[in-house]
Structures are given as structure tokens and as C-alpha cells.
Structure 1
């Protein structure tokens, strides 16, 4: 009779321990490999080496344990063949999972592009790559099934196929479910940015509300060309790929957009012919050939000639590094601003000067300057200029918006009348004020003008957080800003809708309340946009309580305003006697620090991103522009800062301690069996 095979329990005792240790090492290597160090090439090399060593040791331990198990259950030939088939099947799994997960995320699969393969024979992207991955996955399943069947037949003579099928079904249930979800995604969801299922927390694979709003307003033909010099500028290939995915999302969201990618190196004649055919000879002359670029052009509806063009280089300007070392992709904001610039006529914004107003050029004083506000307006297709009414005598008729930011002295009556006349002709005013003690002796001169529009700015009062008086701060923002407004404090207005839906937080310093006049003048509509939270109080003037905060029992003084919600941002619009441009519109914000560089600069630690969004929305409403939404987001790469002691601890635990522990357990089991 043939000798019986050794029982499963008779396999070496260190085999299961080695398999477990190898699996732990491999998984830890994958986790460590996902960590992106903050700054410095040294830390990057250490983390990379740690991941590679851990994965290599884990893989070797797994293979060694698996081979030893096969050898203990069968002959050398069956063990070697089973090991090889298992390695091939596992490799097929890894490749398939990587591509399928990219397909689930709505991203192009970069494993099968010409940049990674080096030639175009098998270059596939998107659906093609995902379908190929499904085929590789099926092949991996068959190879693994064959390997398990062969080893099982050699190890157990009475092996039954039904048992093998049950084991395979349990092992590959997750893979089958993943393939089914991927098939649904490929079959029913277009593989383009903005139309797929975005499961990311920040929505980084979806177009922003503002981008969607800009694209929805395109009435003519928008021409977009991605000129690719990637073969010569290989370091830009990854950045160009992100821009390409972004533009495909634009095309999916805008049916009037014509998008095409042109290979400038291999199709130079095609590039010239396409540009000349579309009437873009001037844009062709601007292409330097030194870097990839995006060329945008707009042809108004019913016209044959291109009205405006713009060239956007694809370079490192589309990325920025935060103070924490995280990399941000700013491509959507840059490209959306470019679309806005070529599609829509530029609006004119004037900043009043000559009365001690905040400057748009004093960049050296971020706590006082409005330079970033001016830059944001320029990027949003506004022209920004200073205006001195003492010299000009009147507000230019082609101006769309006048900004008056915290005047230190009162405006003369002649200038106020010039502003009033311009508002009556359809102009718009954005007024930024600050609370000020002794305001009776230092008025702005605009009190009567605001009153005629139903607004009262109480500069003799200040709205502050009573938490700051007690020295208790709940959040980081409250350490630098006294008023933090959430969705509950936003009014029902188009400028606030996107902020309220997204739950974005705006922040103000000590602000003066901007109240509604009762009764309102005829034909005037007043809307209160942002209210002070319940946990704030008003003081008049910087001493007497106007409104008590929640939980505080302070008796109001005679003449104080009691038990009312205090608005700090309000708008007014006059509809009676409106001209062709519409009636005059006024926006009043009771805090100027709300708009200074320190709060708007993205790299500033005291920045409040929603402040920038609210400012641009207020400007858009004032000039009667429909693009009122959230700013295009910046896609940020998460960073884990590793200290030296953390890196050393991870190395010794993952690479040394766990394997030694596993080997120690295995040796102990073996020694006990020997005894």
C-alpha cells in the first residue's frame, strides 16, 4: 500500500506563525508606503526604505511558509508548481485590484498608458484599462483555482472538487463583489470627472459649484485645446494628466464645450492646421513649446469669429505647498478663471481712496491690506482700479462696483452726491465699516445715503463674543476672530445658499451691527445675510450692553436694543425708478478685517476660506452676475509628519520586533514538539 501523507497537524509548527508574520509585515509595508513625509529627501528615503523592506520581508516570509506547507503535504514537484501558480495568481490579483479601484474612483488607470508602458501598442485608459483588468482578474482566478486543486489532490488523495469550489467561493467573494460594482460603474456611469460616483470626503473628483455655474452660463461655443509636449517634458506628465481629467469633466458638464488634446511633438502639422481652421493663429504664435499648455477660445453664439482667447501654461504654478508641507493642486481654480475670462465681458471695480481707506496695494501689512481681495477680483474677471473722487469729480459711468473700505474721515457732501447719483443710474456699492468709539464726532458722511436705502450702520456699537471676554476659546478660529458664523446664522439669500448647504464657517473680528430701518423707504428691499451667533453680545459704545449673550443675566440700559438678532452683513436694493442697468444695490459689512489679506491668503495660518467665498458672492450679487457659488477647491495631499523617534519606532516594531516574536513562538512550538 502507498505510504500515507502526513497529517495537517504534522506540518512544521513554525509554518502558521511564519505565514501570520509575513502577512502582518506585508500589510504594514503597504500602510507605511502610503505615508508621504513632510519635508526633506532624507525622511522620504527612510519611509520608502522602511516600506520596501517590510513588504519584501513579508512577501518572502509568506512565500517561504506557503512553500514549506506545500512541501509538507506533497512532493517537491507539486510544491514548486503550486508555489509558482500561486505567485502568478497573486500578481494578477494585485494588478487587477489597482486598476479596478482607480475605475471605481472615476480616474483614468495609469498602469496601461503610453507614459508607463513606453510604447503605444497596449496603451489603454479609462474603460479599456478597467476591462483589461477584469480579464486579468479572471485569469488570476483560474490560475489560483488550478493551483489549489493540484496541491489539494496531491495532499489529500480523497479530495473532492466540491470542497475546492466552496473554499474558492469564500476566498474570492470580495473580489467578485468588487468586480460587480466596477462593472456597474463602467456600464452605467461615464468615466469622466464630475459625472462618476465620488466617495472622497472633500469631493476632489467632482467639479465645484462655481465651476458648474460658470459652465452653465456658456451660450456660445467654448473651444479648449490641451497642447501636450509630455514626451519632451516628462516631469509634467502627471500634472498634465490631472489637467486632462479635469478638462474631460468640463466637457461632460458643458455640452457647448469642444475639447481636444493635441500631441505637439508627433502631430505638429495637425496642431497648426487645427488652430488655423479655428481662427487661432494668434494663440498658435504664443505657444513656446517649452511646456504643456491649455488654449481656450470663445466664439459667441451666431458669430463665426473667435471673440477672446487665453493661454494657460501647465506648470508648477498649478500647485502650491502649504505651511504644513502638503501639496495642493489649484488647477480647477486657474482653469475656471480662464473660462470666465474668455466667455464673459470683464466688469470694472473701483476702490475709493483719499479718505484713509484700506489699500489694495499695501502687501507689507497683511492685517490692514486688501491686496488679496483685489487679486481675487482680478482672477474672477474683474478689472480693479483706485478712484479719487476729489480729482475725478464723478464715478465713471462704465464702473460696475464701487468699494469703500473703512474710511478714516468723512466723505465731503459733493462726493456723497456723486455716489448717490451714480447709484441711481444703476451702480452698486460695497461698504466695509468698523465699529468706532466716539462715532458722533467722526461720521463717514454716508449715513443719509444708507438711510435712503433702509440701512443703519451702528458704528457706535460693537458685537463681540463674550467667550473671548472670559478667555475661553472653543476653536482655533476663535483664538483670532471674535465672531464665528455657521449655517444657522445665514439668511435666505442667493449669496448664502451655497455656504449654508455646505456648512461653511465665516469669521469676523469685532463688528458693528448693520440694521434694517423701520419703516423702509418706498421701493427698497433689505436683506440681512449674516447674523451674530447666540453666544455674542453687543456693547455701546464699547462698554454698555446692547444685547445680552445666552446664559448671561445683565440688565440692559435705557435706549439699548434688546432681544434682537444682530446682523453684521446686510444688502439693500432700490427697484423704484430703476434704469436699464437696474436699481442701485448696496452691500454693507460691519467689519473690514473680515476681508484683509491675513484672512484671505490661503497660506496664512489665520485664513478663513469661506470669507473669500462670501466676498466674491457679495460682489457677484452687487454687479448682477449669476455666478454665485463655492470657489473651486484645491485638492490637498494629506501629510503625516513623522518625527525621528516615530520612524525608528515603526522600523523596530515592524521589521524587527514582530518577526522575532513570530520566530520565537515558532521555535517554542517546535521545541515543545521535539520534547
Structure 2
């Protein structure tokens, strides 16, 4: 009787402990990452970022309820929620109101929007580098001021015309960057509080005083982004000389575009980039309609780094400019009239020590195409992300450009055909024979007992 009571007591105690553990598991959680290189957990950079962010973060995912996409996103965001409890995730079905989603700019299933301190940013990639980088940009302590030059027919950062930068201007505003138009005809001078000045393809030559003010702005240590188009008569020769830049004649023609389905040879597609920090980890394809080639003046007064290059199948066509749909075979390199065989640079990042007090480095980017950020071409490949990376670098927000991804060590095995044959024979024939033989031996041994 005593043993029965003792067994019953232990059974009741075991059930009570199991129920208690089950109850506590609903109140408290414990997660331990046992993967190689801790690649299923957030890195130290992301954890430090989340701990520094004061205030709630809202993440909205426009993912359909069908399939496992919501679960995949939820499991990934849970890594961030464990570090920052006031980070929340909610899902919106893009099929519930397609018109609203189209107006909001939602393009793919699972697209993510991050909201923090009244600002927001969109992501189409689910990775720690992309998500933490976006959070870092939203946590920018000081609003950056970017001025777009206007008055001579430049592209407008708030314009809706095909050639304007209206859509990209909205992207900058969502990333906490203040965008304004600057007319030197009225201000006469670039304000000292401007963090970056953008010259976006003037259609007519700037007046002499305005052109001289731009050179003076550079000499004072100002940061600049200059977009150049073919046959552009902007009256900025003095600025080009101050930057040690020369624009080559003609338009870049690149025959490698046919491999990407591009029939117009004057449209340059790029999917390989230089090792510049602004493009670290960037591997998306970008498209540039009719870019112009750039070269350095010798000796340069700046430190030059190439940003964008055409392929070896390219040259600067100075004669016949190809039209859309024209076969590339009809356009030939003849080596005359200043035509130079590729690869050709059409994007430079140039730096020097800044003369401004408190600033370490002065940064300038010159791009031989302005169309890639226009309303017409912004949605092509990685054009938008390339633009945001350029602005982050020019604004000296280097930490915002990328957070490195961590991956497991390479555990791939390279086996010879002989080794594979031995393994195949062993698993298909050897192992079954061994198991059958051992079973027969055990059976006969027991029969003899």
C-alpha cells in the first residue's frame, strides 16, 4: 500500500511539474542559437543599433496570407523583437485593396515598410544587412539638407515629368533627408548649411556669376553630385577644371547589353562594380540610357576612384548615335574622331581633405548620366538603391551604406568519381549485405542456445 501511495505521489508531482513548466513557457521564452557562426542571430552591430534607438519601431509587411512567406518574415523579425521589445510587426494583404497598394508603391509580395520617428523606408530584400541598414538610416540624428540647383531647366526633385527626379526625391524625404530647390540667380550663394549640392543636367548655360559661385562652393569644401548628359552646354567648364574632370565626346555604346535583352546599344547595363565603399555588397543590375564617358585631367588635384564602368565591348560613339531598336551591328567602332575603346569610366567618386572646419573629407561624385534616377528609369533593377547609396556616401553617412551579412563556413565536399562510386556501392550494396549478414549471424547464434 505504501509503494502504491509513493508511486501515486510521484506521478502527481511529475504531472504538476509538467503543467508548471508548460505554464511558465507561455510567460517566458528562451532562445539559443547553436548554428555555426551564430548566423541565425543578430550580429553585434545590429544589437547595438537596436539598443540605441529610443522609441517604438513599426514594421509593416505587405505579404499575402497564402504560403509560408508570412512565417518566414515573422521568424526573421523575431530576432529583432527579442532585442527590442517595442518593435512590432503586422501584415497587410496586398490583394485586399490593390488600388491602395498600387498608390502606395507596393510592387512585390512581402515588401516591408519600416516606420520610426515619423519617417519610413521600404525594403524588397529580407536580410540583416538590408533591414539593419534601413533602421540605421531612420535613426539618423540630424536631418541632412540637400539642395538641387534650379533656374536653367534642371531636373526637379519634386517634378512629375518623365525626366524629373520626383519619385527619387520622395525616397530621399522618406529617409530623413530634406530636399529643396536652390536658384543661384536669387540667392547668389550656396548656403553654408547645405550638406550636398546637386547639379542635374542644366538645359542652358549657367550665367557667369552662378558658374563662378559653384567653383567657389567647391573651394570652400562643399560636397557635390553632378549629373552630366551628352552635348550638355551648361557653362561649367571652370567647375570641371576645378574637379580635374574632362567629358569625352559622344555617347557610350555597349554591345554587351544584348545579353540582357537590351536592343538599344546606347543603353548601358552594369552588373559588376568597383570596390568603392559606396558600392560594398551591391550586386543589383543597373541601367543607364546614353551615358557619356569621363576622364581625369592630369595631374589631378583630387583622389579619384571609379564608380561605374562600361564593358570591354564598348566605346564612345562620336558619329552616328544609335536609335532605340537599332541593331548593334549597324554601329561600329572605327577608332577615329576621338573614339576610345572600353571599358570606359562614366562615374567617378573624388575626394580630398576638406577645408571646412570640423570636416575631415570633401566628397564629390560625377555621373555621366542623369536618366537612371529619373521617373522613367528609376524602377529599373537597382537604380534606386544605387542612388541612395551615392547620397549616403556623399553625406558622409558611411555607416548607413551596409551592414555585412554573416554566413556559415564553407562545408562543401569535393569528391572524385572513384570516391563517389565507392560510397554509392557501399550504401546500395555493401551496407544491406552487412546488415543481412549480421542479422543471420545473430539468428543462428540464438538457435544454438
Same fold (TM over 0.5): yes
Tell me what 1:615 maps to: 387
Contact 2:33–2:40 (8 Å) recurs in 1: no
Would you tell me which structure has more helix in proportion to its own residues?
1
| Mapped partners of 1:242, 1:402: distance in 2 | 41
Query: In the TM superposition, what is the alpha-carbon distance from 1:580 to its structure 2 partner?
Result: 2.4
Contact 2:316–2:341 (8 Å) recurs in 1: no
| Mapped partners of 1:477, 1:217: distance in 2 | 44
Contact 1:350–1:402 (8 Å) recurs in 2: yes
Query: In the TM superposition, what is the alpha-carbon distance from 1:260 to its structure 2 partner?
Result: 3.8
Tell me what 1:249 maps to: 79
| Mapped partners of 2:205, 2:192: distance in 1 | 24
| Mapped partners of 1:338, 1:486: distance in 2 | 26
Tell me, what secondary structure is at the counterpart of 1:410? coil
1:362 aligns with 2:141: no
1:353 aligns with 2:178: no
When residues 582 and 412 of structure 1 are mapped into structure 2, their CA distance, relative to the original with a 3 A threshold, is farther
Tell me, what secondary structure is at the counterpart of 1:330? strand
Query: In the TM superposition, what is the alpha-carbon distance from 1:494 to its structure 2 partner?
Result: 0.6
Tell me what 2:85 maps to: 259
Per-residue displacement from partner, 1:431-455 (whole Å, max 9, x unpaired)?
A: 111112xx5xxx2122221222221
Residue 449 of structure 1 is aligned with which of 236, 239, 243?
Answer: 239
Per-residue displacement from partner, 1:298-323 (whole Å, max 9, x unpaired)?
A: xxxxxxxxxxxxxxx97569995799
Correspondence 1:157-168 to 2 at 5 A? none
Tell me what 1:625 maps to: 397
Tell me what 1:381 maps to: 176
Correspondence 1:536-551 to 2 at 5 A? 536-542=314-320
Contact 1:493–1:529 (8 Å) recurs in 2: yes
Per-residue displacement from partner, 1:559-617 (whole Å, max 9, x unpaired)?
A: x25345311111222327454224532211111111112222xxxxxx32311121111
Contact 1:613–1:629 (8 Å) recurs in 2: no
Contact 2:145–2:178 (8 Å) recurs in 1: yes
Query: In the TM superposition, what is the alpha-carbon distance from 1:527 to its structure 2 partner?
Result: 1.3
1:493 aligns with 2:273: no
Contact 1:358–1:369 (8 Å) recurs in 2: yes
Contact 2:314–2:343 (8 Å) recurs in 1: no
| Mapped partners of 1:463, 1:495: distance in 2 | 23
When residues 248 and 421 of structure 1 are mapped into structure 2, their CA distance, relative to the original with a 3 A threshold, is farther
Residue 433 of structure 1 is aligned with which of 203, 225, 228?
Answer: 228
Contact 1:347–1:382 (8 Å) recurs in 2: yes
| Mapped partners of 1:126, 1:475: distance in 2 | 52
Tell me what 1:196 maps to: 40
1:328 aligns with 2:110: yes
Tell me what 2:260 maps to: 475
Contact 1:427–1:583 (8 Å) recurs in 2: no
When residues 251 and 565 of structure 1 are mapped into structure 2, their CA distance, relative to the original with a 3 A threshold, is same
Correspondence 1:227-242 to 2 at 5 A? none
Query: In the TM superposition, what is the alpha-carbon distance from 1:414 to its structure 2 partner?
Result: 1.3
Unaligned 5+ residue runs, structure 1? 1-119, 129-184, 198-206, 229-234, 262-292, 295-312, 601-606, 633-675
Would you tell me which structure has more strand in proportion to its own residues?
2
| Mapped partners of 1:123, 1:480: distance in 2 | 63
| Mapped partners of 1:407, 1:217: distance in 2 | 44
Contact 1:320–1:329 (8 Å) recurs in 2: no
Residue 399 of structure 1 is aligned with which of 182, 194, 202?
Answer: 194
| Mapped partners of 2:370, 2:261: distance in 1 | 20
Contact 1:431–1:588 (8 Å) recurs in 2: yes
Contact 1:369–1:597 (8 Å) recurs in 2: yes
Residue 556 of structure 1 is aligned with which of 316, 331, 335?
Answer: 335
| Mapped partners of 1:537, 1:553: distance in 2 | 9
When residues 572 and 343 of structure 1 are mapped into structure 2, their CA distance, relative to the original with a 3 A threshold, is closer
TM-score, length basis structure 2: 0.65
Which range is displaced more, 343-352 or 219-228? Answer: 219-228
Tell me, what secondary structure is at the counterpart of 2:280? helix
| Mapped partners of 1:556, 1:568: distance in 2 | 19
Query: In the TM superposition, what is the alpha-carbon distance from 1:504 to its structure 2 partner?
Result: 2.2
Tell me what 1:221 maps to: 52
| Mapped partners of 1:495, 1:249: distance in 2 | 27
Contact 1:373–1:597 (8 Å) recurs in 2: yes
Tell me what 2:442 maps to: none
Contact 1:424–1:583 (8 Å) recurs in 2: no
Query: In the TM superposition, what is the alpha-carbon distance from 1:483 to its structure 2 partner?
Result: 0.7
| Mapped partners of 1:375, 1:451: distance in 2 | 33
Unaligned 5+ residue runs, structure 2? 1-21, 60-64, 115-120, 123-130, 323-327, 406-449
Query: In the TM superposition, what is the alpha-carbon distance from 1:622 to its structure 2 partner?
Result: 1.2
When residues 260 and 585 of structure 1 are mapped into structure 2, their CA distance, relative to the original with a 3 A threshold, is closer
Query: In the TM superposition, what is the alpha-carbon distance from 1:479 to its structure 2 partner?
Result: 6.0
| Mapped partners of 1:346, 1:576: distance in 2 | 21
Tell me, what secondary structure is at the counterpart of 1:422? helix
